[in-house]
Structure 1
Amino acid sequence: MESGKQLTGTLALAVFTAVLGSLQYGYSLGVINAPQKVIQKHYGRALGVWTERAAVLSENSTQEDELSDHHPSVIMYWSLSVAIFSVGGMVSSFLVGFVADVRGRIKGMLVANVLAIVAGLLMGFCQMWKPHIMVISGRAVMGFYCGLSSGLVPMYIGEIAPKANRGALGTLHQLAIVIGILISQVLGLDFILGNDDMWPILLGLSGAPAILQSLLLPLCPESPRYLYIKLRNEQEAQKSLYRLKGTHNLTADLEEMQREKEEAEKQARVSILSLIRSSVYRNQLFVALMMHLSQQLSGINAIFYYSTAIFARAGVAQPDYATIGVGVINAVFTMVSVALVDKAGRRTLTLVGLGGMCCCAIAMTVGLKFQHEFSWMSYVSMSAIFLFVCFFEIGPGPIPWFIVAELFSQGPRPAAIALAGCCNWTSNFIIGMTFPYIQELLGSFVFILFAVFLFGFTVFTYFRVPETKGKTFEEIAAIFQKGPKEMPLSPKDDAELQQLKTTSDA
């Protein structure tokens, strides 16, 4: 098959190298949770919380832990350690387009790796000074790195992937994230690194993938689209294409990039502000932002937050291991998505995923409500958790990350990815900060709220999200210009499009 010939060793190396950044992102997401009690105890010691009360309390470590856990200063610094990661990502996500255009995709990832290595060193050597300050600083820098990485990686993969395999290769970003989360869960077990002596190493390993990626990135070709369209270096773009696709006939790829280049030359530079204001790109942007919102407002983070408690209520002897089981399911079904996304299509898998999650959220609510009356209802909740994760990774988990690169042409693509990334990070931060309060307010009915969101996103996807499988970037843009009923642009939009096309010529 033609598409099979396009999957060369160089392409595999380039994709593998890029998703090391995604692995690092996933590891950083999950690593802070497992050693929470241990880290809080060290915060308490550094802040003098325990020694101030040493005369009152015995040397019992349990009493020390309890005092550290509930001290306002420890709670504040711990909350900041968790939240600052998302804040860093929110800020740097706006810089994705700038870094990608000024430094390129490969050099952009190399520059970002400096941040990851610095963050790993800050956390790895946190006991040399004040651990709470060092960890918070490291998490902030790591969040800043991950905000860049979560935009640069899907952009690079989307631009180098063959059209027939763009979905499967794009899904590898999410697969690497969930594998990173799983690795952090396993290494965070008490008898491995999540203990009193080894926890700084556990946090410091967050920067390890950046070292390997920095060694491999110089071996990877730059994005041909970036070279051809942005730098206007046709010779280097052809070399990059040849390295990525081997002896495969490059004529069709060059012609597609030429058309995209001609279109980009007719347009003024699309900044984030002009993209927000433009009615020409409004439909694409609305779809992109809604898909990222559907990922975060689905309740997936709440599921991970709540899963250990549900497993404990169900009588599972080791709920931590059951939570790791959820992580394994997470990874397995992301691989299922890799296999299906270029066959079933993005829209179909997103619809199946969102609809299935909606049903699971309702089942979760029923299980939580009646688990005290009927013991077997706990197993309904457990099953709902596993199925919820399965449906999430089939579509709503991986697809929003790479579909943004498909919805936009070269001109507005960096700005669109920056906005979508900021939307993702911001909604993630809001859910993380508000879920405990929502849970307290709604109790066992908390997942009904997410079921309502999921139903709304399912309806939106059905009516507004087009299928992008196997289509060129120009064909996808044409879908939005024509609209669902194949109607032309409105006079206002047509006038704006013509203005955008002629501004640079003027």
Structure 2
Amino acid sequence: MPSHSEPPAKAAPPDTKESRFVFKVAIAATMGALAFGYDTGVISGALPFMSAPLEQGGLGLTPVTDGIVTSALVFGAAIGSLMAGTLSDKYGRRTTLMGLSLVFLIGVLGTTFAPSVAIMVAMRFVLGLAVGGASSTVPVFIAEMAGPSRRARLVSQNELMIVSGQLIAYILNAALAHFYGSPDVWRYMLAIAAVPAVLLGLGMLMVPASPRWLASKNRMDDARAVLEQIRSSDKQIERELDEMVKLNEIDRDQAGWSAVLGTPWIRKLLWIGIGLGFVAQFTGVNAFMYFTPIILKSTGLGTNAALTATIGNGVVALIATFIGIWLIGKHGRRPMLMTGLGFVIATQAALGAVLLLMPEGLLKSYAALACILCFLLFMQMLISPVYWLLMSELFPMHVRGVLTGTAVACQWVFNGLVALLFPIAMAHFGSATFFVFAGINVLSLIFVTTCLPETKGKSLEGLETFLEKELGKSN
């Protein structure tokens, strides 16, 4: 097995035929992340038009049904993550993503042509199944295709495509609202999501199955054939195949939930994965992505200016993700998360102080916006990419799909709780809400510092052996 120590820094791998092929695989797979981002971002622009009466082209949404329509996707995503995790272990990552592209398309068409609130809620739930399934399957598929030297940056493309999808949604929402004055413009906003759904399906037809999943099914000849396409040397291929064979011998009788419930170190990994979902969501990131206009309007800023600031959120998130992808190849997961949480705590506390102490006016609005954008910069640069990367590499091969699906499903539940509780907290506690977030993030920082092992620089097979040794010490 490979050494557990951190390898010395190496030059970037050459731009070989194999590295270009793996990059194309990542692009094809992250069409699911692009659809994920667009579908979660587009609703902010569609809701105002959907609130118009039926006879005027809307669905007659009320504040209550606004919340139901928005949250239907989130709760669908939680279930989709669980389902896709099990399916991807049984049928493969590639096959699961092909199926999810069809579910995406059904959800998109259903929401686009929905004649009533009930059907809209049902179709948003279906869309959520695909969003959640993609969120748990895409990072795992890319991680299993990439070698150790490329894994961090290629998996981080998943986060880049999510924020790109959100930014595209914000920009197209504004453009369609400006240039197409009809009340049914929301249907066009929702219909555009069909594009990444179709691209995901077509992309999966053009890429091979995961070699690690093939090896887990004892299809070693097929696994070798795939590795020959995506690795640069025979030595590397033989090393990875040997590691896969050894793990198969160890884990052959340990697949499924029996491995989790009966193996203490795997149970610990699952709790760490669930805890990381809490860390990611209780930073409050989606409170800002969903409710920035409400926060800024509370400072006295006008409605149009507050809506324009939402595009600023998307731009900053995209720039920060590019920087994060560069950083993640150079630094460990733990220091990035710990640094990011430190800045998140500071910006949350600063925003609370601005809202509490400054008099209403433009200066207060700009100061609040600056705090929000600084928060998003550090969140998307140092926390979000690391979260998705850890979800792709923490769990053992034979339970990787089911445990990733479970952990990501919990992350979606935490997302829904933040979205549900934030407006209530703002109404009752005002600026103190952000001090509460800061306090929660102090606890998150303690959790990361004391519980999270470092995973940088190891193959997935070597990492599995390392984690079993590290987490099994106290058993």
Match of 1:186 in 2: 171
Structure 1 position 76 matched with structure 2 position 56: no
User: Which amino acid is 1:164 matched to?
Assistant: S
Q: 1:479 to 1:259 in 2, by over 3 A?
A: same
Check whether the contact 1:35–1:194 (CA below 8 A) recurs between aligned residues: no
Is residue 465 from structure 1 mapped to residue 475 from structure 2 by the alignment?
no
Rounded to whole Å, the distance in 2 between the matches of 1:181 and 1:289 is 25
Q: Structure 1 CA distance, aligned partners of 2:233 and 2:473?
A: 41
The 1-side partners of 2:221 and 2:12 are apart by 24
How many angstroms apart in 2 are the aligned matches of 1:300 and 1:36?
Answer: 20
The residue type equivalent to 2:38 in the other structure is Y
Report the equivalent of 1:152. 137
Question: Alpha-carbon deviations, 1:97-124, whole Å to 9, x = none?
Answer: 3211232111111111111111111122
C-alpha separation in 2, matches of 1:44 and 1:78 = 18
Which AA in structure 1 matches 2:225?
K
Cα distance in 1 between the residues matched to 2:425 and 2:67: 17
Looking at structure 1, the residues matched to 419 and 155 of structure 2 have their Cα atoms a distance apart, in angstroms, of 26
In the TM superposition, what is the alpha-carbon distance from 1:46 to its structure 2 partner?
8.0
Q: CA deviation at 1:2?
A: 7.1
C-alpha offsets along residues 396-439 of structure 1, whole Å, 9 cap, x if unaligned? Answer: 21222221331222122112101111111111111111211111
Counterparts of 1:450 and 1:278, CA distance in 2: 34
- Among 204, 217, 222, the alignment partner of 1:236 is 222
Deviation at residue 22 of structure 1 after TM alignment: 0.5
Q: Pick which of 471-480 and 196-205 moved more.
A: 471-480
Offset at residue 318 of structure 1 (A): 2.5
In structure 1, the residue matched to 2:81 is: 93
- Equivalent residues in 2 for 1:104-183, closer than 5 Å: 104-126=92-114, 130-183=115-168
Q: In the superposition, relative to structure 1, how do residues 45 and 132 fare at CA in structure 2: closer, same or farther (>3 Å)?
A: farther
1:297 aligns with 2:282: yes
For the pair 1:21 / 2:32, whether they are aligned, the reply is yes
Aligned with 1:191: secondary structure? helix
- Distance of 2:259 and 2:241 partners within structure 1: 29
Q: 1:283-294 alignment to 2 at 5 Å?
A: 283-294=268-279
| Structure 2: gaps spanning 5 or more residues | 1-10
The 3-state SS of whatever aligns with 1:343 is coil
Aligned residue identity for 2:75: V
1:319 Cα offset (Å) = 2.6
Give the alignment of 1:349-498 within 5 angstroms: 349-372=336-359, 376-483=363-470, 489-490=473-474, 493=475
Equivalent in the alignment of 1:57: none
% of aligned pairs identical? Answer: 24
Letter in 2 for 1:270: G
CA-CA distance at 1:276 after TM superposition: 4.8
Deviates more, 1:469-478 or 1:216-225: 469-478
Q: In structure 2, what is the Cα distance between the partners aligned to 1:319 and 1:142?
A: 28
Once residues 293 and 65 of structure 2 are traced to their aligned partners in structure 1, the CA distance between those partners, rounded to angstroms, is 23
Residues in 1 aligned to 2:357 and 2:133: alpha-carbon distance in whole angstroms: 44
Given residue 139 of structure 1, which amino acid in structure 2 is its aligned partner? R
Greater displacement, 166-175 / 237-246: 237-246
How does 1:38-77 map onto structure 2 within 5 Å? Answer: 38-43=49-54, 74-77=62-65
**Does structure 2 conserve the Cα–Cα contact (< 8 Å) formed by 1:96 and 1:417?**
no
Q: Which residue of 1 aligns with 2:4?
A: none
CA offset digits 1:324-382 (Å, max 9, x no partner):
01111101111111111121121111111111000000000011112217863433322
Q: Secondary structure at the match of 2:192?
A: helix
| 8 Å CA contact 2:244, 2:461 repeated in 1 | no
Which amino acid in 1 is paired with 2:131? C
Distance of 2:456 and 2:154 partners within structure 1: 13
- Indicate if the aligned counterparts of 1:38 and 1:195 stay in contact, CA closer than 8 A: no
CA contact (8 A) 2:56 2:183 kept: no
| Number of residue pairs matched by the alignment | 459
Contact 1:284/1:407 (CA < 8 Å) preserved in 2?
yes
1:467 partner SS: coil
**Alpha-carbon contact 1:89-1:422 (below 8 Å) kept:** yes
Alpha-carbon offset, residue 131 of structure 1? 3.5
TM-score, normalised on structure 2? Answer: 0.90
Q: Deviation at 1:283?
A: 2.2
Bigger radius of gyration: 1
The Cα of 1:293 is off from its aligned counterpart by 0.8
Relative to structure 1, is the Cα distance of residues 387 and 270 closer, same or farther in structure 2, using a 3 angstrom cutoff? same
Native 8 Å contact 1:8 1:245 kept in 2: yes
Report the residue type matching 1:133 in the other structure. Answer: A
Amino acid at match of 1:244: I
Tell me, what secondary structure is at the counterpart of 1:4?
coil
Residue identity in the other structure for 2:379: F
Which deviates further from its counterpart, 445-454 or 369-378?
A: 369-378
Change (3 A) 1:245 1:308: same
Deviation at 1:193, TM superposition (A): 6.0
Q: 1:207 to 1:276 in 2, by over 3 A?
A: farther
Query: Following the alignment from structure 1 to structure 2, what is the Cα–Cα distance between the partners of residues 359 and 32?
Result: 30
Instruction: Please say which of residues 385-394 and 316-325 is displaced more in the overlay.
Output: 316-325
Q: 1:262 aligns with which of 225, 232, 249?
A: 249
Q: Which residue of 2 aligns with 1:213?
A: 200
SS at match of 2:193: helix
Q: How does 1:23-38 map to 2 (within 5 A)?
A: 23-38=34-49
Query: RMSD of the alignment, in Å?
Result: 2.4
Alpha carbons of structure 1 residues 141 and 99: separation in structure 2 relative to 1, 3 Å: same
What is the CA–CA distance in structure 2 between the aligned matches of 1:374 and 1:319, rounded to whole Å?
Answer: 13
Contact 2:300 2:360 in 1 (8 A): no
**TM-score w.r.t. length of structure 1:** 0.85
Q: Secondary structure at the match of 1:372?
A: coil
CA deviation profile, 1:447-483 (whole Å, cap 9, x unmatched):
1111011111111111221211101334434444444
